[in-house]
């Protein structure tokens, strides 16, 4: 891979109204953008611990506090909804205040919310600490973070880098799920919550010392592109995020992307990540074994997402999305027949198959946002991600209610499979832009 990282062209400084920029040095053999991507990868891995925990908390909290699964699912749904709704504002805040500041503060908020859950005694505290605080912090660490880094630091290999950074969340799941499930099983859920807080705090020094906001900060061109001065920070981050939404909402591709990505969130974070462990436990499978299967999903998610990034650089992202959603829907229709007390080969096949498809939808979705919305694509993707998390939140809550009412999760698996078929059709009808996209909120 290092051979592909080499870049030997010499860049020249652009001029600004204030005069010429300082002479830009020759691009190094291994471009600084790859180091920034590596720090971003580690940051997302460290922050991924919080995403591993909700599915492991449902049964322990139900047993200790006698809260219904619907109540616990509501707290998770608040977390997921805020995760998505915060993302577009976080992308605008990164433009205004810089990536380092926003991400460092977000990690601190995640740690605070996770620690406070240790002392909670009422359901509203779970909603406030885990739902609101961790939701706001995690939203600022959402995929809009990866999209912002990719857009600023890379021109070539954007699809591949997007796939790698998206896979970081799955890698974090792989690292933390077995540990957290073991802690919950042997020491209770509180040590697991403390572990999440410590993981978030551990990453903060890496972000502050090693991450850089823009290639111009170190007088470099982005990888595969030409040097440009760092844009002046745009005031009114919230206003700009809303302005981008209003303009994008007037276009058909935005609603197709948002609708299909809402189904993506419903069928992954809302359903499988939140309810797979308790559903498997309903069929007699130990919690640690079910959590281990989710970790295996994380392994193959890394492979699938990186491969999807590579495919996105070479094939139509519309067709890729249609294939991904169709295959996901088919697999969900078979899942109720596969749940059993022990892990057997058909279940392992489902885990591998589903893992390859888990977040494979992200690189082509980001590519379509970039294709239609240009320089504002990170913020537009933030709003598309918001729809992803609203879909996830709805199913996280509905799944818990369905389990309380029907005593089984089967109806939710079947409904999600049908929704994935609809998402495949939505992806196919996304049009191609007629002209080069212009910034939606004005030139920067």
Q: Kindly list the domain boundaries of the chain, sorted by start residue.
A: 29-214+233-428
Instruction: For residues 146-172, give the mean pLDDT.
Output: 78
CB atoms inside a 10 Å sphere around CB 374: 16
Q: pLDDT for 425-444, tens place per residue?
A: 999 999 887 655 544 444 33
What tokens does 270 get? 């809302």
Q: pLDDT for 377-429, tens place per residue?
A: 878 887 898 888 889 888 888 888 888 888 888 888 999 999 999 999 999 99
Q: Contact 109/136 with Cβ under 8 angstroms?
A: yes
- The percentage of the chain sitting over the pLDDT mark of 90, rounded to a whole number, equals 14
Q: Contact 173/298 with Cβ under 8 angstroms?
A: yes
CB atoms inside a 10 Å sphere around CB 401: 16
Any idea how long the chain is? 444
pLDDT above 70: residue 28: no
DSSP state of 20: E
Tell me phi and psi for residue 181, to 5 degrees.
-65, -35
Q: Which has the closest alpha carbon to 144: 426, 307, 379? A: 379
pLDDT above 50: residue 232: yes
Q: pLDDT for 138-157, tens place per residue?
A: 877 766 677 788 888 888 88
Between CA 118 and CA 140 the distance in angstroms is 23
Average pLDDT, the chain: 81
Question: 240 falls in which pLDDT band (50, 70, 90)?
Answer: confident
Judged on CB neighbours under 10 Å (0-12, 13-18, 19+), 118 is middle
The SS3 assignment for 248 reads: helix
> Measuring CA to CA, how many Å separate 110 from each of 50, 53, 181, 395, 417?
8, 13, 20, 23, 32
Judged on CB neighbours under 10 Å (0-12, 13-18, 19+), 329 is buried
DSSP state of 154: B
Between CA 46 and CA 25 the distance in angstroms is 33
Q: pLDDT for 344-375, tens place per residue?
A: 889 989 988 888 888 789 889 988 998 888 87
- Cα four-point dihedral sign 380, 385, 390, 394: positive
pLDDT the model gives residue 441: 44
Q: Contact 376/322 with Cβ under 8 angstroms?
A: no
Judged on CB neighbours under 10 Å (0-12, 13-18, 19+), 39 is middle
Q: Contact 150/313 with Cβ under 8 angstroms?
A: no
DSSP state of 142: S
pLDDT above 90: residue 230: no
What tokens does 433 get? 């832009």
pLDDT the model gives residue 13: 39
Topology (CATH level 3) of domain 29-214+233-428 = Growth Hormone; Chain: A; (1.20.1250)
The most distant pair of C-alpha atoms in the chain lies apart, rounded to whole Å, by 71
Between CA 110 and CA 138 the distance in angstroms is 7
DSSP state of 236: -
Between CA 429 and CA 414 the distance in angstroms is 24
Burial 156-169, CB ≥16 within 10 A → b, else e = bbbbbbbbbbbbbb
Burial 283-305, CB ≥16 within 10 A → b, else e = eebebbebbbbbbbbbbbbbbbb
Q: pLDDT for 42-94, tens place per residue?
A: 888 776 667 667 767 888 888 889 888 788 888 888 887 887 778 777 777 88
DSSP percent split of the chain into helix, strand, coil, nearest 5:
75, 0, 25
Between CA 70 and CA 101 the distance in angstroms is 36
Residue that the structure tokens 């005694």 belong to: 121
- pTM of the entire structure? 0.67
pLDDT above 90: residue 324: yes
């Amino acid at each position: 891979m290092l051979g592909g990282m080499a870049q030997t062209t010499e860049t020249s400084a652009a001029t600004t109204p204030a005069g010429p920029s300082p002479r830009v040095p020759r691009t190094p053999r291994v471009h600084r953008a790859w180091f920034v991507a590596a720090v971003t990868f580690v940051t997302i891995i460290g922050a991924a611990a919080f995403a591993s925990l909700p599915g492991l908390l449902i049964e322990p909290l139900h047993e200790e506090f006698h809260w219904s699964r619907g109540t616990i699912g509501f707290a998770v749904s608040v977390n997921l909804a805020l995760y998505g709704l915060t993302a577009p504002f976080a992308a605008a805040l990164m433009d205004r205040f810089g990536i380092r500041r926003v991400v460092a503060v977000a990690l601190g908020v995640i740690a605070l919310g996770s620690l406070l859950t240790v002392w909670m005694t009422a359901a509203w505290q779970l909603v406030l600490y885990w739902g609101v605080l961790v939701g706001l912090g995690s939203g600022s660490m959402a995929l809009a973070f990866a999209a912002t880094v990719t857009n600023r630091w890379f021109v070539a290999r954007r699809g591949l880098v997007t796939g790698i950074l998206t896979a970081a969340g799955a890698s974090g799941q792989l690292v933390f799920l077995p540990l957290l499930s073991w802690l919950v099983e042997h020491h209770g859920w509180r040590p697991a919550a403390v572990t999440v807080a410590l993981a978030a705090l551990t990453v903060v020094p890496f972000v502050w010392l090693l991450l850089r906001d823009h290639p111009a900060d170190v007088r470099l061109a982005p990888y595969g592109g030409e040097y440009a001065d760092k844009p002046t920070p745009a005031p009114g981050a919230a206003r700009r995020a809303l302005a981008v939404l209003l303009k994008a909402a007037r276009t058909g591709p935005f609603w197709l992307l948002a609708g299909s990505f809402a189904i993506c969130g419903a069928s992954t974070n809302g359903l499988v990540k939140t309810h797979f462990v308790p559903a498997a436990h309903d069929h007699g499978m130990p919690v640690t074994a079910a959590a281990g299967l989710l970790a295996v999903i994380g392994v193959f998610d890394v492979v699938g997402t990186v491969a999807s990034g590579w495919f996105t650089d070479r094939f139509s992202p519309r067709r890729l999305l249609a294939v991904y959603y169709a295959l996901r829907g088919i697999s969900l229709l078979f899942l109720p027949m596969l749940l059993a007390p022990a892990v057997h080969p058909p279940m392992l096949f489902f885990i591998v198959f589903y893992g390859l498809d888990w977040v494979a939808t992200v690189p082509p979705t980001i590519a379509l946002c970039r294709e239609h919305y240009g320089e504002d694509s990170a913020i537009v993707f933030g709003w598309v991600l918001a729809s992803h998390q609203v879909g996830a939140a709805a199913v996280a809550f509905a799944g818990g209610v369905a389990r309380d009412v029907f005593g089984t999760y089967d109806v939710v698996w079947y409904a999600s499979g049908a929704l994935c078929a609809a998402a495949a059709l939505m992806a196919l009808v996304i049009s191609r832009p007629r002209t080069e996209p212009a910034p939606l909120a004005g030139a920067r």
